[in-house]
């Protein structure tokens, strides 16, 4: 049946890049399990309105027990998870120097942006192994390879961790025809990014765009298109890679 009607679990699905990915994968014919801590029905409604299939699951991705219960509910209600997109994340907002970082903020960043990827992968891998097919896509960031303003060391650390997890999983899972890749966006126009703009004037987005080789604002659909391709059978032989979608900023 190809990828049609396979179940894709997308975290951080209520808004921003996650919502864009849900809408794109639904248009590709996948059934969407939209996971978020926020009880927003907009993502699911936009998919159902155009004839797609989706359901929302409320889950704090940083909590292993909630992740396990959510994956079990999805498998029971929609079917086994074939595609896992670990997109949920918090931004380094406000920027904080390491010397001023509390234990609580450090651990929150690690739990939401990195532990969550491990929890979901651990819960979903057995289903993918049973079918000898699967896709895992983890969200890193171009900041791991490029310039990051001071105050985001905790964020850089987890985004580097996402690359390590991706490479490790690709090594473990290739023999079961399960691929694992990372996406590293540059600066993308999302609600989370807007919250980092203290003036509300779009300065953060404008400054970031000016530093790119391609002088255009990156939108969630630009990221979703790459996820769609990685999920497709055309990308069967792509694994362990980090795909930068950043207007060339890591090339400068
Ligand atoms: N926007 C960018 O410029 C950019 C750049 C590089 C990487 N990224 C990465 O892309 C991903 C998505 O970013 P975005 O800009 O769309 O973010 P966003 O803030 O716009 O949306 C993030 C979503 O994740 C959800 N979320 C946060 N904490 C959660 C938790 N504990 N449990 C469940 N859901 C939770 C939020 O409710 C929200 O719906 C993140 O991993 C981010 O680090 C974004």
**Average pLDDT for 107-131:** 98
Q: What is the pLDDT of residue 23?
A: 97
CA of 17 relative to ligand 1 center, distance in Å:
7
Q: What is the pLDDT of residues 77-106, one digit of tens each?
A: 999 999 999 999 999 999 999 999 999 999
Peptide bond connecting 94 to the previous residue in cis, omega within 30 degrees of 0 = yes
Lining residues, ligand 1, CB within 6 Å: 12, 14-18, 36-38, 59-62, 87-90, 112, 139, 141, 185, 187-188, 190-193
Name the residue at shortest CA distance from atom 22 of ligand 1: 12
CATH code at 7-251: 3.40.50.720
Q: What is the pLDDT of residue 60?
A: 98
Q: What is the pLDDT of residue 241?
A: 98
155 catalytically annotated: yes
Under a CB-based contact definition with an 8 Å cutoff, are residues 54 and 48 in contact?
A: yes
Q: What is the pLDDT of residues 135-193, one digit of tens each?
A: 999 999 999 998 788 999 999 999 999 999 999 999 999 999 999 999 999 999 999 99
Name the residue at shortest CA distance from atom 40 of ligand 1: 89
Under the banding of pLDDT at 50, 70 and 90, the label for residue 29 is very high
CA of 149 relative to ligand 1 center, distance in Å:
19
pLDDT surpassing 70 at residue 1 = no
**Average pLDDT for 19-45:** 96
Ordered by start, the domain boundaries in the chain are: 7-251
């Amino acid at each position: 049946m190809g990828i049609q009607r396979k179940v894709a679990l997308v975290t951080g699905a209520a808004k921003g890049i996650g919502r864009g990915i849900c809408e794109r994968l639904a248009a590709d014919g996948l059934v969407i399990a939209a996971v978020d801590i926020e009880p927003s029905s907009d993502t699911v409604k936009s998919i159902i309105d155009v004839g797609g299939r989706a359901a929302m699951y409320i889950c704090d991705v940083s909590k292993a027990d909630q992740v396990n219960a959510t994956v079990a509910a999805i498998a029971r209600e929609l079917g086994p998870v074939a595609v896992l997109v670990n997109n949920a994340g918090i931004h380094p907002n406000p920027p904080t120097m390491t010397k001023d970082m509390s234990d609580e903020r450090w651990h929150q960043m690690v739990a939401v942006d990195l532990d969550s990827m491990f929890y979901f992968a651990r819960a979903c891998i057995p289903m993918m192994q049973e079918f000898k097919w699967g896709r895992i896509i983890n969200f890193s960031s171009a900041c791991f390879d490029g310039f990051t303003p001071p105050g985001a060391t905790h964020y850089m650390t987890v985004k580097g961790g996402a690359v390590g997890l991706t490479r490790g999983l690709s090594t473990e899972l290739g023999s079961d025809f399960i691929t694992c890749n990372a996406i590293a966006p540059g600066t993308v126009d999302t609600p989370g990014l807007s919250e980092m703009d203290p003036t509300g004037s779009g300065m953060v987005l404008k400054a970031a765009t000016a530093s790119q080789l391609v002088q255009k604002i990156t939108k969630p659909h630009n990221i979703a298109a790459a996820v769609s391709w990685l999920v497709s059978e055309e990308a069967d032989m792509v694994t362990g890679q980090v795909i930068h979608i950043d207007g060339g900023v890591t090339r400068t």
